[in-house]
Amino acid sequence: MNLKKLILVPFLLVTTCVSAQVYNIDPSHTYPSFEADHMGLSVWRGKFTKSSGKIVLDRQSKTGGSVEISIDASTVDFGHAKMNEKARGDEMFNVAKYPTVTFKSTALRFDGDKLVAVEGEMTMLGITKPLSLTLTHFKCLIHPLHKREVCGADAHGRFDRSDFGMNIGLPRFSPEIKLAIQVEGVKAD
């Protein structure tokens, strides 16, 4: 999965069609997570616990819409306090200088009325690169508690962290990062 920065920016679909629907990312149900090699010995997993964004869907045209996601890089969590501290430092996410990771779509792909992929650009550490996200799950329904439409998806992608200047541990550690994002958006009023 190619990610434009390890911090994801909430999906924002932009369209001029009147049939477009706007969904605000639900931060309590959205978790960008990642996997990274640890010298070939194991796979380290982490996530970001704070993200925001918008998704705009135009289901009638099947081409309109956009996704924009913003991730607070300082919320990186490996489940290991010392690693979290190191990850926030200047050798990795450098959160003092680059507090967010963002993703902005350039194209949405549908199979019928089902969103199956999002092409876009990720910005991390001040560098922007293309990133493709494949959706392995996409569903919308009227939420029984919110009484509004909610859409959810599981998105996956890969990128090379060294493309963004994150070179710590190379070549002992593989630069490839696998990304998985569970995301839910609530239809705006």
Question: For 79-120, how does the pLDDT look when each residue is reduced to its tens digit (9 = 90+)?
Answer: 999 999 999 999 999 999 999 999 999 999 988 878 899 999
Q: Which residue has the higher pLDDT, 74 or 11?
A: 74
Token pair listed for 46: 């982490």
* Nearest residue to 6 via CA among 40, 35, 38: 35
Q: How far apart are the C-alpha atoms of 68 and 127, rounded to whole Å? A: 16
pLDDT tens digits, 6-54: 333 333 333 344 578 999 999 999 999 999 998 889 999 999 999 999 9
Domain coordinates in residue numbering, the chain: 21-187
pLDDT tens digits, 138-170: 999 999 988 999 999 999 999 999 999 999 999
Residues ≥6 apart with Cβ < 8 Å to 149: 21, 23, 140, 141, 142, 143, 186, 187
Classify domain 21-187 at the CATH class level: mainly beta
DSSP conformation letters of 53-90:
EEEEEETTTSSEEEEEEEEEGGGEE-S-HHHHHHHHST
